[in-house]
Structure 1
């Protein structure tokens, strides 16, 4: 990512907050011939040195078979088109242009596949609890019949990425 110093987000907590608030990340891998992207809801887990991302995919999704591959996960936060300011236009003789303000976080690491049912069940409880917390009547994994959940666990594979590098770009105005 092109990252001029004035747009670099140096605060790890701000980047973690963007990930938490915009959890649908774009996992970019390589299928052997072309880049490939999967859109997955990730969970950020604090750990040394920079944290871990966790998600799950359908066992039928070939992305988990790319375990060991270096990957990129992109999280997009707020974004908006910014038209030229009319006052600035008048003051500069028209030397202004529109732009785009946005917040984005790029996470780099290696893909790891996790098939352990206990790990997967813990992930499902954690992610569901987090996302259901805002619902009037939150759903819980425990609300589903145990045999159904056991079958679902056999149909998914966990994804884990230990963060090796994280970059944040906050382009434009603070309220972007």
Structure 2
């Protein structure tokens, strides 16, 4: 990934936080059939391995788990909020007419080694963790849990999926938030996004504004 210095994000806690907030990653692999991409929710275990470990699962019908060799190098892309920025939002554009359109976004590339975990105990643990995390976010008065369904039904569902584990070796972050612009242009663009409902991205831009 091309990362100009002013857009590079190196702080592990910021990179891990993005993964937790936007856990639907794009798992990119390269096998005998060429490149493949799968969109999967992941749980980050930050204290396992040098850069953390991702756990998740795929459908047993998905050929990924059969074709992936043990220790295969993979890339998982996590993307947060994003939006188009109009030059008209920059005050300096109306004075000098030296601005062009661009796109702001935050993204983390997680590099690691894939391991297939085709055992019921691991898969049950993955499903339980993912369920606890996202039921809590859903804000239900009574969160769903595995024991809400019959053991026979859950066993049938678990048999239809295969666990995967990715030991992370490197996290690479690019937070493109107009850090290369003047303070008043950053604020103008943030106001433009805010008016269009892009509140989180506007807040991120203001927080990343150079001193």
User: TM-score, with normalisation over the residues of structure 2?
Assistant: 0.79
Equivalent residue in structure 2 for 1:114, among 107, 112, 117: 117
Larger radius of gyration: 2
Is contact 2:60-2:161 (8 Å) kept?
A: yes
Is contact 2:49-2:168 (8 Å) kept?
A: no
Aligned residue number for residue 31 of structure 2: 31
- Range with greater deviation from structure 2 (81-90 or 153-162): 81-90
Aligned residue number for residue 55 of structure 1: 56
Equivalent runs, 1:1-150 vs 2, <5 Å: 1-46=1-46, 47-65=48-66, 66-68=68-70, 69-84=72-87, 85-92=89-96, 94-133=97-136, 134-150=139-155
Aligned residue number for residue 167 of structure 2: 162
- 1:86 positional shift: 4.4
- 1:88 positional shift: 0.9
Q: 1:175 to 1:52 in 2, by over 3 A?
A: same
- 1:111 positional shift: 1.1
Q: Which runs of 5+ in 2 are unaligned?
A: 179-202, 206-211
Structure with the bigger percentage of helix: 2
Q: 1:56 to 1:14 in 2, by over 3 A?
A: same
Distance 2:34 2:126 in 1: 30
- 1:32 positional shift: 1.5
Aligned-CA RMSD value: 1.3
Q: Which runs of 5+ in 1 are unaligned?
A: none
Relative contact order, higher structure (CA 8 A, sep 6+) = 1
User: TM-score, with normalisation over the residues of structure 1?
Assistant: 0.94
Aligned length: 175
